Amino acid sequence: MSNEFKLKEVLNKIFKIEISSINDETSVDTVDIWDSLKHLNLVIALEEAFNITFTEEESVEIMSYPLIKAILNEHGVII
For 26-44, write each residue's pLDDT tens digit.
999 999 999 999 999 999 9
Cα dihedral value 55, 59, 4, 6, nearest 10:
90
For 44-76, write each residue's pLDDT tens digit.
999 999 999 999 999 999 999 999 999 999 999
Instruction: Report the pLDDT value the prediction gives residue 1, as an integer from 0 to 100.
Output: 77
Structural domains for the chain = 3-74 (1.10.1200.10)
Least confidently predicted of 1-5, 17-21, 34-38? 1-5
Instruction: Report the pLDDT value the prediction gives residue 60, as an integer from 0 to 100.
Output: 95
Query: Is the entire prediction scored with pTM above 0.85?
Result: yes
Q: Which residues contact 10 (CB under 8 A, 6 or more apart)?
A: 42, 45, 46, 49
